Structures are given as C-alpha cells and as structure tokens.
A and B are shown apart, each in its own frame.
Chain A
Amino acid sequence: MQRIGVFVCHCGTNIAGTVDVAAVSEALKNEPGVVYSTNYQYMCSQAGQDIIKNAIAEHGLTGIVVCSCSPRMHEATFRKTAAAAGLNSYMVEIANIREQCSWVHKDMKTGTEKAIILGKAAVAKVNLNAPLTPGESPVTKRALVIGGGIAGIQTALDIADAGFPVDIVETKPTIGGKMAQLDKTFPTLDCAACILTPKMVDVAQNDKIRIFSYSEVTDVKGFVGNFDVTIKRRARYVKEDVCTGCGACTEKCPQKKIPNEFNLGMDNRRAIYIPFAQAVPKVATIDLDHCNMLKNGKCGVCAKVCAAGAIDYNAKDEYIEEKYGAIVAATGFNPISMDKFDEFAYSQSKDVITSLEFERLTNAAGPTGGKLLRPSDGEHPRTIVFVQCVGSRCDSCAQKGKEYCSKICCMYTAKHAMLTRDKYPDTDVYVFYIDVRTPGKNFDEFYRRAVEEYGVHYIKGMVGKVSPEGGKLMVQASDLIDNKQLRIEADLVVLAAAIEPDRSARPLATMLTASMDTNDFFTEAHPKLRPVESPTAGVFLSGTCQGPKDIPETVAQAGAAASKVIGLLAKDKLMGNPCVAHSDENMCNGCSTCENVCPYGAITYEEKEFRMPDRTTRIRRVARVNEAVCQGCGCCTVACMSGAMNLKGFKNEQILAEVDAICR
C-alpha cells in the first residue's frame, strides 16, 4: 500500500478564486492510501516545495499528488522536488485543477466538485505507480537545417560557429531564398544582396557546413539526438565539384525562352542556368523539363562548350542517408496566388504586379536592369497605386485569402513608395491601406518619412476593382476619411499579396511528427516561453515557417534556434523518457499490429524460446520495444488486441483506475 501525500495549490486566486482549496485537501484525506493532505498559496515557490519535501520525510510518503496547474507547466518542477527528497520522480502525479478546472468554471461549487474528482483520479493512479528510471541515449553531434534562406543560413552559421557540423538542404539550385530576390531592406534601405551575399559566401567557405542544394528531405526516422534522415539529391546534370561557374554554357544553350523563376517569370533564362550571379554553390543546373538533350537526345551544346567537362547527361537522382542530433525547419514562405482576387485584374494585365515582382523590377540585377518600367510596354509609370492587405486578414467565411496579418507588407510597401518617389519624383504614388501597422524599431518613423518627406499619398480605404482600359489601369477605390469613391488612372498597380508557408512545410511536418496550425505554420512548443522549439523534441523552428516575420526578426529567431541546437549538441548523452511501451511476452501473440502502427519504428520482433508447463519448449514470435527509440505515444497499447502492450507510467490498469475514480 502506498503512503500518499496530497498538496493543493491556490495559485493565488487563479485556483482559489473558483475552487475551495481547503475543501479539496480535506476531501482527498479520505481517499485510499492518502496519509497527508494540505494546501498552500504557491506550491511551486521555494516555501511550497519545502512543504512537499518535509512531508515526504516526516510521513514516509511513497507517492505524491500535486493539485495545481497543467503538468506542462510544473510537472518537471515537482518531479525535481520529489527527487531531492529521495522519492522517485515518477511517483509524482499532477491533477490539473487550473487550466482544466478553475479557469473554465465560474461557479465555486462546480469548480470545487470537479477539483476533488480530478484529485481522486490522480490519487487512484499514484496507488498503482511504480518507480521508473530513464535510460540514456547518445547524441549525434551534427545538425540538419532544412531551407537555405536567410533563416537557414543564419542558423547554420551560428551552429557551425560553436564548432558543430551542419548540413543545409535547399530545394533550389542555390541558397539565398527570398532575401536574395529583394532590392533594398527596410528600415535602413541597405541593399539586400550587399548584406546577404557575404553570409552566403561564409556558408560556402565554412568547413563545418555542407550545402545540399537542389535537394530535399524524403524521410526522417529516429528521435532527438539520433535522427536518421534520407536526402534526395536531384540530378542537376552538372558535376558540382567540377563546374567552375564560368557561365559559358548558360550563354550558348539554344533553349532561350524559359520563364526565369528568380525574376518571377518577368524575363527568360536558358535550359542550363545559374539562378543569379552570386549563387552559392556557383554551379550550373540543367532544367530537365526544357533541355532538348535530356528530353530527346538532340543538342549537347553545353557539353561542347564546357571547358571543365562538368556536364553529365547520365546523372541520376541520388539518395543519401545521414545521422543528425537536431533538425531545424527553415522552409520559409511564398506570396499567395492572386487567382481568387482577380477584381485587381492580376491575370488580365501585365501592369498589375505583386510586391515581390516590384522588387525585381527595381533591382539592378532584375529584368529591367533596375529601371522602373511597365511590364506591358516598357514605359516609365507616372502613377502607381499600391494595394495593401491583398489576401491578408480575410475572414474564413469569405473562402479566400488568409485570416492572419502578413506583417511585412506595411513596411515593404512604405519602402517601395518611398524609393519610387526618391528615384522618380515625377511619379504620383498612392497607397491604399486598412491600417498601417509598423511596430518595430524605427518602423513608424520610416512610414512617416514616406508620407511627410516623400509625399506618398496614403489613403485609408480599399481598392474595389482595377479595370484595364486603353493602356491604363482604372482603379476604383474608396477614401473613407473623405467619404468619397475615387477613380485613379494608374500606370502600374502593385498588390501586397499575403504570404503563406512554403508547400514543402506540410509534408516535412508529417515526416518530423512536428505539429502545425491550420495555416500550415509550424507550432512552437510554447508561444511565449519556447518560441523556437517544436513540441517534438530535437526539432527547432527558424524564420517564417513559424509565422510571418521580417528580416531582423528572422535573423534573431534563427540565432535563437541555433543556440537551442548548440545546447542539445553540447550534451554527450540524453536522458530518455522512461514512460515507454513494454510488451508482456507471455501475452503477445506476434500479430505485428503494434509494429505497423508505431510511428517511430521502435518495435521489432524476435523468435523466442518458451518453456511450457509440460517442460517442453516452444518457439514463439514476440514483440520487442527499443526503449531508446520509443517516444511513449501509446499507439501500440491501443492497437494491441491481446493486451500485451502497456505504457510504463500509463498502464491500462492505471488509466482505468483514474476513470473508475472519476465515475465513483
């Protein structure tokens, strides 16, 4: 029989405001096994923990129940308290009477009644608890960063700086991401390439960092400290270690009319190409879909002009397997499609563009050499209308767009408007806004400069329709301050398209068993206190894959993710979770159901010899759990039809005892 102590926390008024804590500790005194019960203002405080320690010593407690906040908050705290008093950590149970009780009830009577029931359930469970000891597992001291934009680059550099090897996997032929496509960066207006490309070079030259470009992660197995990852290296038909990046092939390739992704299709590239001058790795890639040689064996020009002999038409996709201790998701974002917003005539006029396209139109390496010219006729636009919040802040019942604020658009639009007025003072610039959101260091000052110094017309209102008429764009919009409907004859309309997570994020989250929100942004372990960690141990989040962010925030988060990775890789061994599955081999019938449902590959089968009552022996196939790999999710215990599989610390009889206590 256990000797159980019960400790009820007031949590100030958080619990005591809705739950009669004295009544709870009094009621639980009568539960089987309980020898001591008390309540205190803040159980998690030093004084509160001392009450627990003293009670363990004085009353010879073998198990304790703390009725307090969620175990996600303080289970670890109270386990340490128990251990300090010589009690096994796993003899501690938390009854969550805050989040699941006092916070959701308004009535003291109901709250108290429920708190008592939750306490009874925890007592019933502790009665069946047994001490558990966690195992240890080694840590592979190498990190994987998935995504090679500014987030992935910064994370990789910081991890490498601490001395740990890092691999970057990037789907594009080069690292650099969206930032490489930007012209200037707010609020300081330094050139994006000038601050990004040195970092890209640092990555290339760092002997701790390997870049797998034109590659993707196809499989992830294992667990924190011990991930086994399969990386598909797509054939680029150019030997990366031989190509010198001279670019001769990209000038001679006869396939000239392929839309250039880097310039968002506003100019063309060849079938063999280097995305941009500062690409890393600076090697050519052949686009399988457009190369005549690869499609029908007719061409071979690039091989002829390549002095280095780097072209390899017979290259195949390769799969490599690597081990990592930590994985960082840095998969980034894309602007949403404008398909569902054709009232702005994006599909009907070349002169209606997105803000990212505007970046390329003003960039010296862009399709116009940095001159702001209309895509339709190459003329200089005299009137430009910027439309904010296109597809952001939409209600779900509108069935289009995103519900969230994309966060970066107010600032980049102010930047576009300001730079246009600076370079082309003869241009009229209008910005239609719903709210101007500029909370950031020097951000609002920046927006005010656009208005006050550069004379950008900010109009509170929204564009209803853009009509291409006679080579112009008729913009019909509201001006809510003047209570007018405006018609502006514009030459160029720029849409601040909402941003969304990259499509690769969802399948990656599935592989990592990392959770996502309804918008496909990765979920953090705690929205305030653990913002760069996924709830899945060993998986970390960097940049816009976690939520919309500008560059300064992305870099800050990238560094934070790196420091978490470094903290993990600095350990030689990790304490495992002792609450793992265990199979009772006498009951196991070898059916393989558990093996099939296990998401971690933790269950294998072995042939084992059993002695029968009649002294004969029989060989049976039984399940064996690899405790280092098992994450204690419990799938197998539910699936097991013979009842052989049980989760330590959460055995079927323990769960049923809780249910019985609740129903009593």
Chain B
Amino acid sequence: MKVSYYPGCTLRNKAKELDRCARECAQILGFELCEIENWQCCGGAYTSSTDEIATKLSSVRALKAAGELDRPLITVCSACHNVIKRTNLAMKEEEFAGKVNAYMAQDADFTTPYGGETEVYHYLEFLRDKIGFDSVKEKVKNPLTGRKIAAYYGCLLLRPSKAMAFDDPENPTVLEDFIRALGAEPVIYPARNECCGGYVVLEDKDSAKRKSATVSESAKGHGADSIVTACPLCRYNLMKSGSELPVVYFTELLAEALGAKEAENG
C-alpha cells in the first residue's frame, strides 16, 4: 500500500530519527511512505483567523498533491499534522476554499480547485485505524517488556478536538494502546495533554521550562521510566527543562520493537 507522506522541515534536520524510523517501520508494517514532491514548510502553526489565506497555501498544495494521486496523506510531526488537518477542514468550507483556490489558480500547474477531499492521517492514527495495533503487535520482534512509558500528547495532536478528531481530548488512548502493542506498560498521568510551552521558548525560556517541568515531573511521579512523543518541539522543551526521564520519538520506539534498528546495523 502506497501513501503520500509529508515529512516537514524539522524531520529533515533536527528530528531525522523521527523520519528515518517512520519510513523503515512502514516497510515492515506493509505500507510505503511516498514523499510528495516539492513540499513546502507548513508554517508550524495554524492561524485560526479567517482572513489568513496565504499562510495556508503550502498545506493546501501538499493536500492537493496527495489527492491527485488518490492517496491519503500521512504526517508524523504533531505540528505539521495539526496545521494540515485543520487546513483540510477549513477547505471544506466553501467561502474559505474559494479564496484559497483563487490564489492557487495563479500556480503554473493549477488544474482543478481543491475542496478538502484528501484523507489526512497522523502516522499513529494510520496504525490504529488502517493497520491495526494487533497487526503491529504481531510484527514485534523485541517486545519492550518491563518498560514503563509515559505517553506525552501535548496539545497539537488533540486540540481542537472538533477539527483534529484524533482521540478523546481529555482521556486519549491511542499512544497508550501503541505502547501496549509494543509490549511495554503505558503510564497514565494527568499532564499528558498539557502544553510543553511550545514556540514561546524562543523568547521566554523560563515560561517553557515551567510548563515542561510540570509534564516530566508528573510522568516521573506516576512511575514512568521514559516519555514518548510525536513532536520535536515537545521533545526539545522537555529535554531543556531538565527532564530526568529520556524523551524519545514514538517511531524510535516502534523501530526498536520491530527490530528495524538491528536490521540496519547488522
């Protein structure tokens, strides 16, 4: 099965592991991530204001490219996912889509207008809804038995839930089910859907540090030995806040359990 893939800029630079593991594991799990051509940065943040058109064009182009191949679009980074999914929903509104398509009509390769037809999945959602965690479990070579892993959702995967439709925004289960499928024990702690401080870290390091410290302390307090995330910025903030627990990407965990790393090394 071939799916369109939008890696995003961070996965090309600071979060290469997140990207590499995602691709390798996909192969093991029987689907191929086909990177769309000439993708542009999503902008990192969705702007909810109704008069922001230009900032959404890069997402729409990616969605359109996937749609033209009649494939779903998969993202891995939480931020890209948030931006692209919310943009896709906005494109289902006629008035907004009309404005965006009017812009896009000036592209040299413009053919047909886009109206939010492409299906957008986060990699985790795709595993849950299309591959099935039972199938993932069957492919596990090195079960992560005995590990106590805290799933960190942050905000971008879950909120706003009406647009993201990803999981229960207050009591999510997808990452916990994922952790269980890999043979480890999920640790449920209340700060798992609280914000890490996000981009504010750029100008207010202390603010971000306070928020991230709350998260890692809550995870530790509930007995976790590591934290798993899908977001490079969450990971960065947690690490910089002095988290005593290691913070890993979910695809790294998946690669470890599926034995993808060994395959490469050996």
Q: Which among B168, B170, B221 is the interface contact of A470 at CB below 8 angstroms?
A: B221
Contacts of A470 in B (CB 8 A): 221
**Nearest chain A CB to B10 CB, angstrom units:** 29
CA distance A345 to B218 in the complex (A): 15
Contacts of B168 in A (CB 8 A): 339, 342
- For A, the interface residue count at a CB cutoff of 8 angstroms equals 15
Contacts of A469 in B (CB 8 A): 190, 218, 221
Contacts of B218 in A (CB 8 A): 467, 469
Smallest CB gap from A344: residue in B? B170
A348 engages B190 (CB within 8 Å): yes
Smallest CB gap from B222: residue in A? A469
Q: Is A296 an interface residue (CB 8 A)?
A: no
CA distance A469 to B220 in the complex (A): 11
Q: Is A399 an interface residue (CB 8 A)?
A: yes
Q: Is A468 an interface residue (CB 8 A)?
A: yes
5 tightest Cβ-Cβ pairs between the two chains A and B: A467-B190, A342-B170, A342-B171, A343-B170, A347-B171
Contacts of A506 in B (CB 8 A): none
When each residue 585-599 of chain A gets 1 if its CB lies under 8 Å from chain B and 0 otherwise, what string results?
000000000000000
Task: Report A432-468 residues with CB < 8 Å from chain B CB.
Answer: 465-468
Smallest CB gap from B161: residue in A? A399
Smallest CB gap from A466: residue in B? B190
Task: Report A341-355 residues with CB < 8 Å from chain B CB.
Answer: 341-343, 345, 347-348
Contacts of A348 in B (CB 8 A): 171, 188, 190
Binding site for B on A (CB under 8 A): 339, 341-343, 345, 347-348, 399, 465-470, 474
A341 engages B170 (CB within 8 Å): yes
Smallest CB gap from A474: residue in B? B190
Known: A348-B171, A467-B190, A467-B218. 13 other contacts (CB 8 A): A339-B168, A342-B170, A342-B171, A345-B190, A347-B171, A348-B188, A348-B190, A465-B190, A466-B190, A469-B190, A469-B218, A470-B221, A474-B190
CA distance A474 to B218 in the complex (A): 11
Q: Is B162 an interface residue (CB 8 A)?
A: yes
Listed A/B pairs (20) with beta-carbon separation below 8 Å: A339-B168, A341-B170, A342-B168, A342-B170, A342-B171, A343-B170, A345-B190, A348-B171, A348-B190, A399-B162, A465-B190, A466-B190, A467-B190, A467-B191, A467-B218, A468-B190, A469-B190, A469-B221, A470-B221, A474-B190
Contacts of B162 in A (CB 8 A): 399
CA distance A409 to B171 in the complex (A): 25
Smallest CB gap from B162: residue in A? A399
When each residue 189-205 of chain B gets 1 if its CB lies under 8 Å from chain A and 0 otherwise, what string results?
01100000000000000
CA distance A345 to B162 in the complex (A): 20
Smallest CB gap from A398: residue in B? B162
Smallest CB gap from B170: residue in A? A342
When each residue 165-189 of chain B gets 1 if its CB lies under 8 Å from chain A and 0 otherwise, what string results?
0001011000000000000000010
CA distance A465 to B168 in the complex (A): 15
When each residue 204-221 of chain B gets 1 if its CB lies under 8 Å from chain A and 0 otherwise, what string results?
000000000000001001
Contacts of B191 in A (CB 8 A): 467
Contacts of A339 in B (CB 8 A): 168
Contacts of B221 in A (CB 8 A): 469-470
CA distance A467 to B217 in the complex (A): 13
Contacts of A468 in B (CB 8 A): 190
When each residue 22-51 of chain B gets 1 if its CB lies under 8 Å from chain A and 0 otherwise, what string results?
000000000000000000000000000000
CA distance A465 to B218 in the complex (A): 14
CA distance A36 to B190 in the complex (A): 79
CA distance A326 to B159 in the complex (A): 51
CA distance A423 to B113 in the complex (A): 69
When each residue 136-174 of chain B gets 1 if its CB lies under 8 Å from chain A and 0 otherwise, what string results?
000000000000000000000000001000001011000
Smallest CB gap from B217: residue in A? A469
**Nearest chain B CB to A464 CB, angstrom units:** 11
CA distance A545 to B50 in the complex (A): 43
Contacts of B171 in A (CB 8 A): 342, 347-348
CA distance A339 to B172 in the complex (A): 11
CA distance A345 to B171 in the complex (A): 8
Smallest CB gap from A347: residue in B? B171
**Nearest chain A CB to B170 CB, angstrom units:** 4
CA distance A467 to B193 in the complex (A): 11
CA distance A466 to B157 in the complex (A): 21
Looking at B168, B170, B191, which has the most chain A CB atoms within 10 Å of its CB? B170
CA distance A470 to B162 in the complex (A): 32
CA distance A345 to B188 in the complex (A): 11
**Nearest chain B CB to A395 CB, angstrom units:** 13
Contacts of B170 in A (CB 8 A): 341-343
Looking at B171, B188, B191, B221, which has the most chain A CB atoms within 10 Å of its CB? B171
**Nearest chain A CB to B217 CB, angstrom units:** 9
CA distance A145 to B188 in the complex (A): 47
CA distance A348 to B190 in the complex (A): 8
CA distance A404 to B218 in the complex (A): 36
CA distance A468 to B188 in the complex (A): 10
Smallest CB gap from B190: residue in A? A467
Smallest CB gap from B218: residue in A? A469
CA distance A469 to B188 in the complex (A): 11
CA distance A152 to B191 in the complex (A): 46
Smallest CB gap from A470: residue in B? B221
Task: Report B226-257 residues with CB < 8 Å from chain A CB.
Answer: none
CA distance A339 to B169 in the complex (A): 11
CA distance A342 to B161 in the complex (A): 13
CA distance A216 to B162 in the complex (A): 38
**Nearest chain B CB to A398 CB, angstrom units:** 9
CA distance A513 to B263 in the complex (A): 68
**Nearest chain B CB to A10 CB, angstrom units:** 47
CA distance A467 to B190 in the complex (A): 5
**Nearest chain A CB to B121 CB, angstrom units:** 22
Contacts of A467 in B (CB 8 A): 190-191, 218
Contacts of A345 in B (CB 8 A): 190
Contacts of B190 in A (CB 8 A): 345, 348, 465-469, 474
**Nearest chain B CB to A473 CB, angstrom units:** 9
Contacts of A347 in B (CB 8 A): 171
**Nearest chain A CB to B226 CB, angstrom units:** 19
Contacts of A399 in B (CB 8 A): 162
CA distance A229 to B36 in the complex (A): 66
**Nearest chain A CB to B160 CB, angstrom units:** 11
**Nearest chain A CB to B162 CB, angstrom units:** 7
**Nearest chain A CB to B190 CB, angstrom units:** 3
CA distance A348 to B168 in the complex (A): 13
CA distance A100 to B141 in the complex (A): 74
Contacts of A343 in B (CB 8 A): 170
CA distance A469 to B8 in the complex (A): 36
Contacts of A474 in B (CB 8 A): 190
CA distance A470 to B190 in the complex (A): 11
CA distance A341 to B161 in the complex (A): 13
Smallest CB gap from B171: residue in A? A342
CA distance A399 to B168 in the complex (A): 13
Smallest CB gap from A345: residue in B? B190
**Nearest chain B CB to A453 CB, angstrom units:** 35
Smallest CB gap from A467: residue in B? B190
Contacts of B188 in A (CB 8 A): 348
Looking at B171, B188, B190, B221, which has the most chain A CB atoms within 10 Å of its CB? B190
CA distance A347 to B170 in the complex (A): 10
**Nearest chain A CB to B189 CB, angstrom units:** 8
CA distance A342 to B168 in the complex (A): 9
CA distance A474 to B170 in the complex (A): 16
**Nearest chain A CB to B157 CB, angstrom units:** 16
CA distance A467 to B170 in the complex (A): 11
CA distance A339 to B173 in the complex (A): 13
CA distance A399 to B218 in the complex (A): 30
Contacts of A342 in B (CB 8 A): 168, 170-171
CA distance A635 to B213 in the complex (A): 67
**Nearest chain B CB to A469 CB, angstrom units:** 6
**Nearest chain A CB to B166 CB, angstrom units:** 15
